[in-house]
């Protein structure tokens, strides 16, 4: 994304159709202790919409009247379709492929399922990134240990001109280095800790040429940045819903390529078996001396996790996705980009560095790397220690702006991770940058400088 241009106008003027701040529950009361909340941590936890909150409250109350529960299968079918729309497919295209989406409790569950479905063999390798989110590493790590395979952990390219290089060249180099041994490539499209971009197009082309499964975790972009499913042809795409999809905790949505739709699920239950939703299954009893009937319903629903459908979470997720698919990821990207550009301009003026190529909605801010370390090609540039006393540690700085300015962000792998969304305004961005400036000045006034 272009991060070099400052935008002086509020994006509401540029995108009047996405002036939707009033739909978020916390915006009406975004002050605590008479101080405005500056929320820049959607990459950690997304807030609920007012309507989603109300749907959840009403659904929770229904649990006190269990006879009032209604079947939610139609909602679940809608959710499968709307997930694909949130990834960028048209409603018509999503409807044709809704059979390929499973509902599971977490992205780590999704990745465990896919890792166990790919028949990884002894001596093979699975490629991941250094610093990648554990949900898309530990399942592969475990399966590799079980099967006598190994991880290939790709390191980021070296620093240049105080900006972090993109990952794609390093991934392609690793693929060439381990050619013939790669069983799967498991990646995000934006690194969760600093928003650095992984250009998936050349990686996907390589994977297709060499028949390597490409498995994606898009938790940090689903619903915000369109994903070119038809161009990338990934084997699987998982996304937790409690961040950018604005849903409740407890769900991840998983798109699965048709080639895997005959694989075994992680759990064995009757929810997605043929005829299990018919009255006779329970009322008469489907079990015989051989056990229960085992044929699956068609599609990825065989991978749905066990237990009864969540009558509280499903309506909430359905409501959130209805809004997101109405807005569309391309329009959300257009809203967020000028806000993040503006924040980056201010952060760079304070001396921070950011990845050269990054997400349009979140990014990691790190101190400048000392000149004598710039050619050392560190394993994770965001974690490089900086002995310059002009800079506090990033956890200390993040804690200070939260304590003194009510500005909320995250620290991940040595970077202050900041994210903008549809409730963010230019005034919020300017206040956040001012908070950084104030606390840096306060630190330097207390710390002897060389």
Whole-angstrom CA distances from 162 to 157, 167, 263, 413 are 13, 16, 47, 18
| Mean pLDDT computed over 317-345 | 97
| Mean pLDDT computed over 351-379 | 76
Of 60-69, 374-383, 404-413, the poorest mean pLDDT is in 374-383
Band of residue 36 on the pLDDT scale cut at 50, 70, 90 = confident
pLDDT, tens digit (0-9, with 9 covering 90-100), for 211-267: 999 999 999 999 999 999 999 999 999 999 999 999 999 999 999 999 999 999 999
pLDDT at 156: 78
Band of residue 279 on the pLDDT scale cut at 50, 70, 90 = confident
pLDDT higher for 3 or 320? Answer: 320
Q: What percent of the chain has pLDDT over 90?
A: 74
pLDDT at 370: 57
Q: Indicate whether 270 pLDDT > 90.
A: no
Band of residue 162 on the pLDDT scale cut at 50, 70, 90 = very low
Q: How far apart are CA 210 and CA 24, in angstroms?
A: 46
| Mean pLDDT computed over 386-414 | 89
- Tokens coding 70: 């209604």
Q: How far apart are CA 219 and CA 317, in angstroms?
A: 15
Q: Indicate whether 65 pLDDT > 60.
A: yes
Band of residue 281 on the pLDDT scale cut at 50, 70, 90 = confident
pLDDT at 383: 41
Band of residue 293 on the pLDDT scale cut at 50, 70, 90 = confident
Query: Strands 31-32 and 35-36: what pairing?
Result: antiparallel
Band of residue 14 on the pLDDT scale cut at 50, 70, 90 = very low
Task: For 32-90, give the DSSP string.
Answer: ETTEE-EE--TTT-PPPBHHHHHHHHHHHHHTTSGGG----HHHHHHHHHHHHHHTT--
pLDDT at 307: 79
Band of residue 418 on the pLDDT scale cut at 50, 70, 90 = very high
- Tokens coding 20: 């939707």
Q: Indicate whether 60 pLDDT > 90.
A: yes
Measured from the Cβ of residue 376, the count of other Cβ atoms closer than 10 Å reads 13
pLDDT at 139: 98
Q: Indicate whether 47 pLDDT > 90.
A: yes
pLDDT, tens digit (0-9, with 9 covering 90-100), for 163-222: 455 799 999 999 999 999 999 999 999 999 999 999 999 999 999 999 999 999 999 999
pLDDT at 31: 61
At 151, is the secondary structure helix, strand, or coil?
strand
How confident is the prediction for the chain on average, in pLDDT?
Answer: 89
pLDDT at 23: 95
Q: How far apart are CA 45 and CA 42, in angstroms?
A: 5
Q: Which residues pair with 416 in a beta bridge?
A: 365, 411
Q: Indicate whether 11 pLDDT > 70.
A: no
pLDDT higher for 29 or 70? Answer: 70
Structural domains in the chain, sorted by start:
11-49+328-446 (3.90.1150.10), 66-326 (3.40.640.10)
Closest to 354 in 3D by CA, of 79, 104, 3: 3
Of 3-17, 120-134, 268-282, 291-305, the poorest mean pLDDT is in 3-17
């Amino acid at each position: 994304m272009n991060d070099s241009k400052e935008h002086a106008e509020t994006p509401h003027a540029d995108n009047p159709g996405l002036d939707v701040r009033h739909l978020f529950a916390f915006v009406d009361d975004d002050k605590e202790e008479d101080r405005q909340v500056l929320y820049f941590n959607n990459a950690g936890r997304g807030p609920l919409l007012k309507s989603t909150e109300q749907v959840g409250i009403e659904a929770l109350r229904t649990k006190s009247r269990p006879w009032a529960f209604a079947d939610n299968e139609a909602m679940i079918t809608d959710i499968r379709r709307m997930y694909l729309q949130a990834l960028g497919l048209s409603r018509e295209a999503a409807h044709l492929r809704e059979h390929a989406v499973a509902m599971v409790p977490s992205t780590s569950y999704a990745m465990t399922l896919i890792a166990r479905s790919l028949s990884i063999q002894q001596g093979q390798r699975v490629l991941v990134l250094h610093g990648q989110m554990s949900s898309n590493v530990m399942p592969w790590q475990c399966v590799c240990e079980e099967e006598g395979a190994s991880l290939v952990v790709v390191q980021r390219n070296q620093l240049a001109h105080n900006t972090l290089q993109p990952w794609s060249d390093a991934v392609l180099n690793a693929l060439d280095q381990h050619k013939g041994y790669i069983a799967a490539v498991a990646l995000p499209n934006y690194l969760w800790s600093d928003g650095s971009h992984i250009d998936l197009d050349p990686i996907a082309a390589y994977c297709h040429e060499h028949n390597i499964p490409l498995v994606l975790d898009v938790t940090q972009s689903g619903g915000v940045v369109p994903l070119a499913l038809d161009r990338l042809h990934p084997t699987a795409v998982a996304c937790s819903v409690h961040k950018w999809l604005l849903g409740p905790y407890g769900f991840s949505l998983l798109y699965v390529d048709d080639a895997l739709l005959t694989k075994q699920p992680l759990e064995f239950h009757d929810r997605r078996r043929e005829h299990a939703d018919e009255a006779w299954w329970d009322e008469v009893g489907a079990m015989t001396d051989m056990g229960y009937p085992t044929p699956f319903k068609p599609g990825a629903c065989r991978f749905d996790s066990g237990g009864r459908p969540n009558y509280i979470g499903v309506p909430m997720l359905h409501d959130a996705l209805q809004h997101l698919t109405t807005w569309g990821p391309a329009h959300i990207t257009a809203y967020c980009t000028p806000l993040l550009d503006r924040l980056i301009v201010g952060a760079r003026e304070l001396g921070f560095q950011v990845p050269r190529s990054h997400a349009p909605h979140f990014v990691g801010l790190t101190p400048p790397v000392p000149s004598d370390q710039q050619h050392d090609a560190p394993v994770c540039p965001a974690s490089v220690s900086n002995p310059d006393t002009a800079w506090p540690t990033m956890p200390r700085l993040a804690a200070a702006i939260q304590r003194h300015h009510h500005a909320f962000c995250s620290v991940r792998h040595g970077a202050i991770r900041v994210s903008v969304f549809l409730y963010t305004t230019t005034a919020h961005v300017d206040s956040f940058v001012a908070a950084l400036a104030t606390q840096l000045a306060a630190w330097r006034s207390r710390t002897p400088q060389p």
